Amino acid sequence: MDPRVVFRTHYQVDEPAYMELLIKICTSPVRSSYREVVAQRLAGEISHRRKKSFNEDAAAYAVDLGKDLELINENHTWTEKGHLVDLSAETPDIDWEEQLRLSLSEKLLHFRLFLEGDGAALMFLSRRLLETGVLDNSETRWNSLASEMFSEIFSNYLAITNNTPDRVTLRRKIQQQEAKYAGHSGSHKLFIHLQTLYRLGLIDRPSPGGSRVYIIPSRLPQVKLGLEILIEELRDVFHLEQVIRNHQWIEVAAKVFHIQWLDVNEDALDIATLVSLYKRVIATGVPLCSLSTLINAAQIELLSQHVRLLRYETAMKAIQRIQKTHPKCVRFHVDRRGQPAFLKLSNAFLTNFSEDKVLA
């Protein structure tokens, strides 16, 4: 079992919005590329077009972060989550600081990505901030905090892991944390996690362009902080794994972001929505469309634009109902476990839908 924490990070690669540029501008859904080439594109996009100091070494770390978050694969082409970024994120030519601010749909997107890829780190830092109220700019403190964070996360996963090779790996990682971080190592290891919490609106940074000081937000009377809700919902790494395995991230996100939602039934994911999202994915050149990509994109759109919460199992039932109604036009492809994982819609289905015809 791999701990849900990104480890190989860089102090300059501290913004979730970098992942949007990595996917939408610097990589391809179908064409492979070398790591150095992708890093060069990203560095050029940020430093030349966005006028932000960002070198190729830092960009290479951003490429690695994209892999750790499973947005791109070893060939640097998009994964299912990469397609989700393409569907849910925007990268307009606007002021760089405006680009870094996340819309609600982008907050939901990155909550989804970082919960699965980095959820254990977000939980650790949320707890620490709730205990202390502030994490401030001190290299000594960053180094100590980074060592403590990784040691605790690896130890927590060791406690719930039965697989012998995984236990050996985790014990080795715990031992490696005994060699304390020095210099800027701690800040390299921590800033992406803290800045993500900040961009999600769960913590504050009094001086966004200055000193690295992170604090808990001001409390409203009788209203829990998003950090408090996050910890209550996830509790520990065992329950974090359950939330992710059961596809319950959207329910947690709605509570954390204080969205007053309405539950929806299967009718919320209709043929129009399904086909619209499907067309956008297939237009990239891939032969099949991931069901999780379709469902997650629909969940983000419904919650951010219409305050409607579509649960994963409800969305699956909706797609299965459409498939049963049109079995020749809507086909599932299964994964290695024999579970439906991909969708293929016939050209006739797409043509008839675009002409507002009713299929027989």
Both tokens assigned to 338: 């024999």
What's the alpha-carbon Rg for the chain, to the nearest Å? 21
Pairing mode, if any, of strands 340-345 and 308-309? unpaired
- The answer to whether the beta carbons of residues 229 and 255 sit under 8 Å apart is yes
Residue range 222-233: mean pLDDT, rounded: 95
Place of tokens 């992710």: 244
Model confidence pLDDT, tens digit, residues 150-181: 999 999 999 999 999 999 999 999 999 888 88
Query: Burial letters for 6-38: b for 16+ Cβ neighbours within 10 Å, e otherwise?
Result: beebbbbbbbbbbbbbbbbebbbbeeebeeeeb
pLDDT per residue as tens digits for the range 91-119: 877 778 888 999 999 999 999 999 999 99
Distance CA 42, CA 12 (A): 13
Cα–Cα distance for residue pair 306/111, rounded to 1 Å: 18
Question: What average pLDDT does the segment 177-197 reach?
Answer: 89
* DSSP state string for 259-298: ---EE--GGGS-HHHHHHHHHHHHTTT-SSEEHHHHHHHH
pLDDT of residue 358: 42
Residue 284 pLDDT: 97
So what's the architecture of 262-354 in CATH? Orthogonal Bundle (1.10)
Spatial distance between the Cα atoms of 279 and 259, rounded to a whole number of angstroms: 29
Give the lowest-confidence range in 42-56, 66-80, 164-178, 253-267: 42-56
Q: What is the pLDDT of residues 272-297, one digit of tens each?
A: 899 999 999 999 999 999 999 999 99
Domain boundaries of the chain, sorted by first residue: 17-101, 108-259, 262-354
Percent of the chain with pLDDT over 90: 78
Q: Is residue 51 predicted with pLDDT exceeding 90?
A: no
* The pLDDT of residue 360 is above 80: no
The 10s digit of each residue's pLDDT in 116-135 is: 999 999 999 999 999 999 99
- The model's pTM: 0.94
Cβ(156)–Cβ(120) under 8 Å? yes
> Residue 28 forms beta bridges with which residues?
77
